[in-house]
Amino acid sequence: MTADSRVIRKAVLGSPIKLPARHEVKFAGAPLAKVSADGAFEGYASLFGVVDLGRDRVVRGAFRDCLARKPPSAVKLLWQHDPAHPLGLWEQITEDERGLKVRGQLDLAVAKAREVHALMRSGAVDGLSIGFRTERARKDNATGVRNLEKLDLWEVSIVTFPMLPGARVSAVKRMAATPGPPALAAAIRRSAGRLAIVSSTNTPKRI
């Protein structure tokens, strides 16, 4: 049992959990929309109130403090959570009633961004996924659901695999204790490397 799991298991019903610093990757959102010829696009990177396959639910307002202190351009726009493949810049990141809405611009001077743009325009890729650190969560022992109340958003990636039941973007996460950005990058790479394994085990649930 990890230190993180012990912290969660010791929580009483409805009590706040002060989690150790850690970084997670979560696939939860809606299909990308309005992908333009010049590389502009928008969509939802996270949906509020949806219980994902890891028994987590992002609460409305979870990103509020982070977005107040961090401009959209400070949140990285990556391909498959890989820090070696930045694709452009986020121009707008906001919370609305549905979730975390984002608008980005691909840098079409970058070869990988041109490839991803073509895939997005054809509909072959339409997923968004967030990379974040949990700052505050609340566990309901009766349901086993962890409500994510305060998150520090590090990056939003364009991704391939849809695994969230009832949506076309997934709800898979990978956790790793990390002290800062260099270790976060390694954790993100490990998460991306495990996508194929998770996909194969959840194939019947893909939409």
Catalytic residue among 23, 24, 149, 155: 155
The active-site residue out of 24, 46, 117, 129 is: 129
Task: Name the DSSP letter for residue 62.
Answer: T
Q: Would residue 85 show up in a list of annotated catalytic residues for this protein?
A: no
> Is 202:95 a contact under the CB 8 Å cutoff?
no
CA-CA distance, 50 to 46, in Å (whole number)?
Answer: 9
Residues 6 or more apart whose CB falls under 8 angstroms from that of 200 comprise none
Residue in the structure block whose two tokens are 């509909």: 123
Catalytic, 117? Answer no
Tokens representing 73 are 């351009």
Residue 81 designated active-site: yes
CB 200, CB 194: distance < 8 Å: no
Indicate which residue of 23, 24, 81, 149 is catalytic. Answer: 81
d(CA 167, CA 165): 6
SS3 state of residue 58 = strand
List the beta bridge partners of residue 90.
104
What count of Cα atoms within 13 Å lies in the side-chain half-sphere of residue 85? 18
Instruction: Just list the catalytic residues.
Output: 81, 129, 155
